[in-house]
Chain A
Amino acid sequence: DQQVKQNSPSLSVQEGRISILNCDYTNSMFDYFLWYKKYPAEGPTFLISISSIKDKNEDGRFTVFLNKSAKHLSLHIVPSQPGDSAVYFCAASVSGNTGKLIFGQGTTLQVKP
């Protein structure tokens, strides 16, 4: 039973265009959502997060949107750069819990020059 799903294993985008990575979840108890980026041979690094009391959080080129009614979140990267090519993981957690993160399977983003 996968509580966090990233249904697109891969995404290819032209440099300068928008990248949109999607994530769906099933557990309505989740109230924090995080995006991690992973380069080959490195561990995941934190990118951006959003609390369930918000529907949008922006940090530079990265924006995360949360649609609680649809149990869906998305990460927008504008403009996309070749250095953004990596695996992106969506993760969710429940406040007041163990801090445990439930991860999606990841989406491999390739940004072409």
Chain B
Amino acid sequence: DAMVIQNPRYQVTQFGKPVTLSCSQTLNHNVMYWYQQKSSQAPKLLFHYYDKDFNNEADTPDNFQSRRPNTSFCFLDIRSPGLGDAAMYLCATSRDLAGGLEQFFGPGTRLTVL
């Protein structure tokens, strides 16, 4: 089955210790997104890749970086996690950039910062 896979499902890190979250897809979609969802809040877009083109949301903290080495994989790097970065991180893909196109989500990685 074509899908979006996120690893790990649960990640615990220490305050200030860099952490990397991983996303892979078998859908061969051009676009990959990273969302942050804090408890009982709406998922919030951090950035997206259209192929190799990176697009950062204006309010995404500099602490958050992303890499997309190939079509299938995308990584979220948090350089110095703070307590406020504890959240669910959702990876999503879509076939193309267009309003209304369905996005396919992975199961998420829940990040805990101690």
Contacts and interface: CB of A to CB of B under 8 A. Distances in A.
A31 B101 CA distance: 12
Contacts of A43: 4, 6, 90, 92, 105-108
B94 interface: yes
Interface SS of chain A: helix, strand, loop or mixed?
loop
A102 B35 CA distance: 11
B-side interface size class: 20 to 34
A97 interface: yes
B106 A103 contact: no
B99 A46 contact: no
Nearest to A96: B99
B97 interface: yes
Contacts of A46: 102-104
Interface in B1-32: 4, 6, 9, 31
A34 B102 contact: yes
Interface in B84-112: 90, 92, 94, 96-108
Contacts of B55: 98
A105 B57 CA distance: 19
A104 B99 contact: no
Contacts of A96: 98-99
A89 interface: yes
The 10 closest A-B pairs by CB, nearest first: A32-B100, A43-B105, A95-B99, A103-B42, A93-B99, A46-B102, A32-B99, A99-B97, A103-B43, A43-B107
Given A31-B99, A41-B107, 16 more contacts: A9-B40, A31-B100, A32-B100, A36-B105, A89-B42, A95-B98, A95-B99, A96-B99, A97-B97, A99-B98, A100-B48, A101-B103, A102-B42, A103-B42, A104-B42, A106-B42
Interface of B: 4, 6, 9, 31, 33, 40-45, 48, 50, 55, 57, 90, 92, 94, 96-108
